[in-house]
Amino acid sequence: MASSAPASRSCSCGQHCAHCLEKLCTHGIPIFASLAVDQLEKIAGKTLHRSYEKGETILEEGSHPDYVAILNGGSVKASRFTADGREQILYVFSEGDFFGEQNLLFDRPAVYAVTALEPCRLCFLYKKDFQQLLADNPDIGLRIISELGWRMSHLENSVRNMGVRSLESRIGAVLLELAGKYGAKQDDGTLVRMPLSREGLANYIGIARETVSRKLGMLEDEGMIRSVGARHILIRDMKALEELAG
């Protein structure tokens, strides 16, 4: 069971593309890291796949999905809304992240909506198969606990930041987070591809979009960052930003 199948064999995605021949869609997913290649192939064979366009809703708040969704390319946001339509983004997920496990394992309705931030590919693993998988591989449970732990510490940071930290600090923290996920080192700094618009950033941080503009402007004046087009930010002084974010 070699990891790279012969080119003549269609990959488990049902497509015959270079991408899929290079990697199984279950490959590189942290919660499956302990599985052998043949197991990965078996799972991959049971997954459904679908692509989404930017702005498409993948999961609606309050629904009862009967699958775990694993993000296999692109990025999505998970957000909740208030009665008056204001949005609070809770997570930005990218390749390798999953969602829906709570709803599936414990029959709880989804408390957030998931929406594509850019074109993206998702694998869906249905309830029965996922439960089987968990039963057969107890340490996937551990890996899920681990991932939930990270997610919790992300939320714990958000709560602390929103509660007691200054705006600049919160913006700094979000920039650092996005830099970690979407940043590329260059000789003049780290160029970050921003999956979120200014409004998205605002809804992630929990402030007004105008304030995001103002504060980013200030950071730019101080030479810490530089806007590159509308969807990129160059971090010129990572040290200072880390200082700011605490």
Partner DNA sequence: CGTGGATTTGATACGGGTCAATGAGGGTGG
Partner DNA sequence: CCACCCTCATTGACCCGTATCAAATCCACG
Does 246 bind DNA (CB under 7 A)? Our answer is: no
C-beta of residue 100 within 8 angstroms of C-beta of residue 110: yes
Which residue's CB is nearer to DNA, number 30 or number 206?
A: 206
The candidate with the shortest Cα–Cα distance to 155, out of 169, 141, 173, 138, is 173
Interface with its own copies (CB under 8 A): 80, 82-83, 86-88, 90, 101-102, 105-106, 108, 111-112, 134-135, 138, 141-142, 144-146, 148-149, 151-153, 155-156, 158-160, 162-165, 203, 205-206, 246
Rg, Å, the chain Cα set: 20
Stretches 9-17, 20-28, 153-161, 205-213: which one binds DNA (CB under 7 A)?
Answer: 205-213
Does 214 bind DNA (CB under 7 A)? Our answer is: yes
Crossing angle of the two packed helices 127-136 and 138-164, in degrees rounded to 10: 110
90, interface contact from DNA, its own copies, none, CB < 5-8 Å by kind: its own copies
Does 88 bind DNA (CB under 7 A)? Our answer is: no
Minimum CB–partner distance for residue 61 and its own copies (Å) = 11
Please, what is the end-to-end C-alpha distance for the chain in angstroms? 47
Secondary structure (DSSP) of 114-182: EEESSSEEEEEEEHHHHHHHHHH-HHHHHHHHHHHHHHHHHHHHHHHHHHHS-HHHHHHHHHHHHHHHH
* Phi-psi label, residue 70: left if phi above 0, alpha if psi -120 to 50, beta otherwise: beta
Does 234 bind DNA (CB under 7 A)? Our answer is: no
Which residue's CB is nearer to DNA, number 22 or number 53?
A: 53
Minimum CB–partner distance for residue 13 and DNA (Å) = 27
197, interface contact from DNA, its own copies, none, CB < 5-8 Å by kind: DNA
Measured distance CA(125)–CA(55) in Å, rounded = 22
Q: Which two tokens stand for residue 97?
A: 């992240």
229, interface contact from its own copies, DNA, none, CB < 5-8 Å by kind: DNA
Q: Please select the residue that binds DNA; options are 212, 224, 241, 245, rule is CB under 7 A.
A: 212
Which residue's CB is nearer to its own copies, number 120 or number 202?
A: 202
CB atoms within 10 A of CB 190: 20
Partner residues linked to 114 by β-bridges: 59, 78
Q: Which residues are at the interface with DNA (CB under 7 A)? A: 166-167, 197-199, 206-214, 216-217, 227, 229-231
